[in-house]
Homo-oligomer: A and B are copies of this chain.
Amino acid sequence: MNDFQQEWIAVDWGTTHFRVWRMSGVDVIEAREASCGLLALQQDQFESTLVKHLHGWADQAPVLMSGMVGSRQGWQEAPYLFLPVSLREVAIGAVEVQALELNRKVHILPGVACQDQTRPDVMRGEETQLLGLGAGVEGWTGVICLPGTHSKWVWVENGAVNSFDTYLTGELYSILSQHSILRHDLGAEEFNSEHPAFANGVEVGLSESTPLLTSLFRVRARSLLIERNPLANAAFLSGRLLGEEVRSAIKNLPKTEKTHLVGGSSLTKLYAKALTLAEREVQRHSGDDLVQLGLTAAWQFLYPQSE
């Protein structure tokens, strides 16, 4: 049994980001971040990278990590748990890592997968945010959308992930704007959720009036024939893709079901706008905060404090 105010280290280690928190029980003492995500590292550089970023912190504090660091390309694989998975199972499913230099306990939380032949899917990192969202609520139930490069829609029932779907929306926007014929027509500036072309794109996506593959080419055709500025084209395309995702995701959802949006501020604002146009209620949550809360919830499962 550990003291409730024990020091420990929480780590969120993804494809492109690395964040670490020095914790005392449930309280954050100090936070650090760096750009040493998986893409920037060789497979034998994980431990030395972590050692570097823990410099000056308590020597013996155990470490709990989450994210792509537990993938096959990460430090050590923390195999997927298969649906249905309770959030508690994610926590106690943490895998101990061989860490020779660090001289302390190091764990990585597992990802979650659906192995159904007809709908295989995987998540790694998002399960920790779900842990944070459901922390302290017995039998938590809800629909959660986690926008991102590969956005996830998750159905949690009674504290367990029952099903989820991943949409390639963010990555598709990115490769269309960098590598397709549309790249000349799209502005690189940021647009916000109140841009009228964004709403227009969402409405086309929600309405099924134009097939997605046709809408994509029409961004080009519109530039040639009618003109629309590059920023508006970008806003339209983003809205068109989000509208497509939202239409599919809410199809079998009761109209009254609220969607929890988890992520960064600008992206959750866009999704909130799209869901509002679809006449759905939303509640936004900071993705960063939820990772840290999720790691804390998992730590409480793993190291239950003395009463």
Residues of A within 8 A of B (CB): 80, 113-115, 117-122, 150, 165-169, 171-172, 175-176, 178-181, 209-214, 216-218, 220-222, 224-226, 241, 244-245, 248-249
State whether A245 touches B213 (Cβ < 8 A).
yes
Residue of B nearest to A167 (CB): B213
Nearest CB in chain B to that of A181: its residue: B171
Q: Is the CB of A119 within 8 A of B244?
A: no
User: Is A115's CB under 8 angstroms from B226's CB?
Assistant: yes
Known interface pairs A122-B224, A211-B244; A217-B166 also in contact (CB < 8 Å): yes
CA A216 – CA B176 in complex, angstroms?
A: 14
Task: Quickly give the copy total for this chain.
Answer: 2
- How many angstroms between the C-alpha atoms of A211 and B225 in the bound complex? 30
Given A175-B176, A213-B245, A225-B115, is A121 in contact with B218 using a C-beta cutoff of 8 Å? yes
Offer 7 A-B interface pairs, CB within 8 angstroms, sorted by A.
A113-B224, A120-B226, A121-B217, A166-B214, A212-B244, A213-B244, A213-B245
Which are the 6 A-B pairs with shortest beta-carbon distances?
A211-B248, A167-B213, A168-B216, A166-B217, A120-B221, A175-B179
Cα A178 to Cα B39 with chains together (Å): 18
Is A222 a contact partner of B176 (Cβ separation < 8 A)?
Answer: no
Taking CB atoms, residues of chain B closer than 8 Å to A249 are 211
Select from chain B the residue with minimum beta-carbon distance to A224.
B122
* Given A167-B211, A179-B178, A180-B175; A80-B216 close (CB under 8 Å): no
Is the Cβ of A113 less than 8 Å from the Cβ of B213? no
